[in-house]
């Protein structure tokens, strides 16, 4: 009779431990699913940032082409500065504006590249969390099989 009581107590202790492990696992799964959602949002932001960076690069190329064209026109206008002094002044102003715009675009690209690097780091961290989640699920499955066999 004492053996039955001891076995009941051991079974109850085993059930309590299994219940606690199950609760801890569910909490961990919930946390990791939250991390996965955060990863998804970060990936979307990363995609948006990459698109913005690509657009900024294209705009910079366009501005640079305009700057080169303006520079060439300025070189040609030096031959007859008397006739074209007003035009030269306008083109020079356009050239200065283009240079300023190129400088602004370069700063914007640097900012976007910095944001992109930061978001890539977040994505990497979230990917690591997903890897840990996968390992935990495997461990839980193994633990459940071991506890289920007893």
Domain CATH number, residue 11: 1.10.287
Encoded tokens for 121: 């780091």
Q: What percent of the chain has pLDDT over 70?
A: 92
Place of tokens 């979307």: 44
- Whether the pLDDT of residue 102 is over 60: the answer is yes
What is the domain count for the chain?
1
**pLDDT tens by residue, 19-62:** 888 999 999 999 999 999 999 999 899 898 899 889 989 998 99
| pTM of the shown model | 0.36
Residue-range definition of the domain harbouring residue 90:
2-149
Q: Which of 9, 8, 118 is nearest to 53 (CA)?
A: 118
- With contact defined as beta carbons under 8 Å apart, do 116 and 42 qualify? no
For residue 136, CA distances in Å to 32, 92, 145 come to 10, 65, 14
């Amino acid at each position: 009779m004492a053996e039955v009581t001891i076995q009941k107590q051991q079974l109850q202790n085993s059930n309590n431990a299994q219940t606690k492990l199950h609760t801890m696992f569910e909490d961990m799964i919930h946390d990791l699913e939250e991390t996965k959602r955060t990863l998804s949002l970060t990936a979307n932001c990363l995609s948006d940032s990459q698109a913005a960076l690509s657009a900024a690069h294209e705009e910079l190329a366009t501005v640079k082409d305009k700057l080169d064209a303006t520079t060439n026109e300025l070189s040609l206008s030096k031959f007859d500065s008397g006739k074209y002094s007003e035009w030269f002044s306008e083109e020079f102003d356009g050239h200065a504006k283009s240079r300023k715009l190129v400088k602004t675009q370069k700063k914007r690209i640097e900012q976007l590249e910095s944001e992109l690097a930061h978001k890539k780091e977040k994505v990497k961290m979230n990917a690591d969390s997903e890897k840990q989640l996968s390992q935990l699920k495997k461990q839980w499955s193994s633990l459940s099989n071991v506890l289920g066999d007893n």
